[in-house]
Amino acid sequence: MKHHGRAIITYNGKRLRSKPGATLNLGGTSRTPDPLDDGSVGYAESTAAPELTCAVPLTADLSVQELRDLTDANVVFESDTGKSWVIRDAFTVDTVSVGADVTLKFSGQPAEEL
């Protein structure tokens, strides 16, 4: 059985040439345990934002400005296992630092499996 090894990341149909190690937190419903004095444990729910983190090499054809200003995008994380997820209404989180690599973090609506 094949395990995840590589991811293809696209935004609005444009492929990012990401380095190994990209991760996706799907977001959605987060549950916090709520222990009670009688020994039982309940939980409280809240909404958690998704987070896709990746690094891309800084190349002449990479539009850092476009990625820094990205909003209202569809960002897709496609695993080499055949599983894919989309973050709709995605936007870039945090400021973007430029060096040998550009580290990017995206968020938006909870990720949906495609």
Pairing of strands 28-35, 23-25: unpaired
Question: Looking at the 3D structure of the chain, how many domains does it have?
Answer: 1
For residue 11, give both structure tokens. 């935004």
Cβ atoms within 10 A of the Cβ of 24, count? 19
CATH number, residue 109: 2.40.30
Q: Is the pTM of this model over 0.85?
A: yes
Is 2 contained in some domain?
no
Helix (H, G, I), strand (E, B) or coil at 97: coil
Asked if pLDDT for residue 1 goes beyond 90, the answer is: no
Is 60 contained in some domain?
yes
**Structural domain range at position 69:** 7-113
Using only C-alpha atoms, the chain has a radius of gyration, in whole angstroms, of 17
Token pair 């695993």: residue? 79
For residue 16, give both structure tokens. 């990012």
Is 1 contained in some domain?
no
Is 17 contained in some domain?
yes
Q: Per residue in 51-85, pLDDT tens? A: 999 999 999 999 999 999 999 999 999 999 999 99
Cβ atoms within 10 A of the Cβ of 73, count? 20
Is 97 contained in some domain?
yes
